């Protein structure tokens, strides 16, 4: 069933049916005729042909490192809710933490297929930037602040500073830091930088032995915590870049019969589900992940509709949630 057959059955021309479907001028009489035939036949216009003609797919390509992550899926939820309002759908590029696949998806989405791209990434390499530069649809980056590109990101630097100040306020003085590799400019680099600067501002010594970087996992948190304890440096608190890391840290501290928060305070970033559930409940910074998805959706829709390439930078804040771990 196609537009020509509908036209024939309705006794009008293809053009009129097309106009009817796209809010053009059609007489009331013809409107009724056409609607009747469409109802009877269950006709739906071919999206292929429409896309070929209009160069529009109403699709947003969303590239994510791993969909089965609490933070990522919240971001995607936000994006999806927002863009759906405007009739857009999501083409999902789940890269499984594989940078090669990330590049692959950028290439797939590059030329056509989608009207806009939202890239949720942890590490942006030169290779990424090379391809992104050549992309001819609007792009928004979530979670990282990349020069010359519109980004929705979190205030990682000040988040770390906040955590240090909070610990100091609670009389903790010898603070360790467990984060992730600095190739992740946001979670790795910025959170560590904030930590160091905050120590300096508070006239505390920066002991680089107490700054460890690993992966986004409970196991990594556990391992690095063990390493720090083996140093016998008499620390009284640990800042964890993520809740998952904090989980490993807590496990390790418990095994060593260290009481949280009496012997050692633990604090982290994320406010994930587990942070409310583990004993002790983790004092943490709530990050507005779903909001970042919503904002990214708004920005990309705007770019698509207005065709304006203004550089948009949105830095989202955080909210301190005190629980039991400090």
Partner DNA sequence: TTGTACGCGTTATCAT
Partner DNA sequence: ATGATAACGCGTACAA
**Chain contacts with a second copy (rule: CB under 8 A):** 42, 44, 46-49, 51-52, 55, 57, 59, 62, 66-70, 72-74, 76-77, 80-81, 84, 89-94, 96, 101, 107-108, 110-113, 134, 247, 273-274, 277-279, 290
Task: Compare residues 22 and 98 and give the one whose CB is closer to DNA.
Answer: 22
Which tokens go with 240? 């964890």
Minimum distance of DNA from residue 49's CB (angstroms): 3
Name the phi and psi angles at 7, rounded to 5.
Answer: -60, -45
Task: Compare residues 77 and 215 and give the one whose CB is closer to a second copy.
Answer: 77
Q: Is 64 helix (H, G, I), strand (E, B) or coil?
A: strand
**Is the N-terminal amide bond of 40 cis, ω within 30° of 0?**
no
Minimum distance of DNA from residue 76's CB (angstroms): 29
Q: Is 52 exposed, middle or buried (0-12, 13-18, 19+ CB in 10 A)?
A: exposed
Q: Going by C-beta distance under 8 Å and a sequence separation of 6 or more, which residues neighbour residue 76? A: 62, 64, 67, 90, 92, 120, 293
- How far is residue 228's CA from residue 276's CA, in Å, rounded to a whole number? 25
14 binds DNA (CB under 7 A): yes
Listed residue (144, 209, 148, 153) closest to 182, CA to CA: 144
Minimum distance of a second copy from residue 84's CB (angstroms): 8
Q: Of a second copy, DNA, none, which one does residue 76 interact with (CB within 5 to 8 Å by kind)?
A: a second copy
Q: Of DNA, a second copy, none, which one does residue 107 interact with (CB within 5 to 8 Å by kind)?
A: a second copy
- Residue 88 DSSP code: -
Whether residue 157 contacts residue 313, with contact meaning beta carbons closer than 8 Å, is answered with no
Listed residue (120, 112, 110, 116) closest to 78, CA to CA: 120
Q: Is 198 helix (H, G, I), strand (E, B) or coil?
A: helix
307 binds DNA (CB under 7 A): no
Chosen residue from 35, 54, 165, 306 binding DNA by CB under 7 A:
54
Minimum distance of a second copy from residue 123's CB (angstroms): 20
Task: Compare residues 10 and 272 and give the one whose CB is closer to a second copy.
Answer: 272
Question: Number of residues in contact with DNA, rule: CB under 7 A?
Answer: 26
Q: Is 323 exposed, middle or buried (0-12, 13-18, 19+ CB in 10 A)?
A: middle
Residue showing tokens 């680089």:
208
Q: Of DNA, a second copy, none, which one does residue 202 interact with (CB within 5 to 8 Å by kind)?
A: none
Q: Determine the interface stretch with DNA among 10-18, 158-166, 240-248, 296-304 (rule: CB under 7 A).
A: 10-18
22 binds DNA (CB under 7 A): yes
Task: Compare residues 77 and 236 and give the one whose CB is closer to a second copy.
Answer: 77
Task: Compare residues 53 and 100 and give the one whose CB is closer to DNA.
Answer: 53
Q: Which H or E run includes 177?
A: strand 175-180
218 to 247, contacts with DNA by CB under 7 A? none
Q: Of DNA, a second copy, none, which one does residue 174 interact with (CB within 5 to 8 Å by kind)?
A: none
Whether residue 66 contacts residue 97, with contact meaning beta carbons closer than 8 Å, is answered with yes
Task: Compare residues 49 and 231 and give the one whose CB is closer to DNA.
Answer: 49
Site residues (CB under 7 A) for DNA? 2-4, 12-16, 18-19, 21-22, 24-27, 29-30, 45-46, 48-50, 52-54
């Amino acid at each position: 069933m196609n537009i020509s057959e509908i036209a024939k059955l309705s006794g009008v021309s293809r053009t009129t049916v097309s106009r009817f479907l796209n809010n053009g001028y059609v007489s009331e009489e013809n409107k009724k005729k056409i609607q009747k035939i469409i109802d009877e036949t269950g006709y739906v216009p071919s999206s292929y042909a429409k896309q070929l003609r209009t160069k529009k797919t109403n699709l947003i390509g969303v590239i994510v490192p791993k969909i089965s992550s609490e933070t990522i899926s919240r971001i995607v939820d936000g994006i999806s809710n927002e863009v759906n309002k405007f009739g857009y759908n999501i083409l999902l590029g789940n890269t499984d933490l594989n940078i090669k696949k990330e590049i692959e998806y950028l290439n797939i989405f590059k030329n056509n297929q989608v009207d806009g791209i939202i890239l949720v990434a942890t590490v942006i390499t030169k290779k990424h930037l090379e391809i992104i530069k050549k992309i001819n649809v609007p792009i928004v980056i979530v979670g990282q602040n990349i020069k010359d590109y519109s980004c929705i990101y979190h205030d990682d630097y000040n988040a770390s500073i906040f955590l240090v100040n909070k610990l100091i306020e609670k009389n903790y003085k010898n603070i360790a830091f467990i984060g992730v590799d600095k190739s992740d400019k946001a979670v790795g680099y910025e959170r560590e930088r904030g930590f160091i600067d905050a120590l300096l501002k508070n006239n505390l010594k920066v002991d680089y032995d107490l700054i460890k970087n690993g992966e986004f996992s409970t196991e990594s948190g556990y391992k690095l915590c063990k390493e720090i304890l083996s140093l016998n440096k008499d620390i009284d608190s640990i800042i964890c870049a993520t809740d998952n890391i904090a989980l490993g840290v807590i496990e390790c501290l418990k095994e060593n019969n260290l009481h949280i928060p009496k012997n050692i305070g633990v604090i982290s970033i994320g406010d994930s589900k587990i942070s409310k559930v583990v004993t002790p409940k983790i004092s943490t910074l709530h990050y507005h992940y779903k909001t970042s998805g919503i904002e990214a959706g708004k920005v990309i829709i705007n770019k698509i509709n207005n065709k304006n390439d203004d550089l948009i930078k949105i830095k989202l804040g955080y909210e301190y949630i005190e629980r039991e771990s400090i």
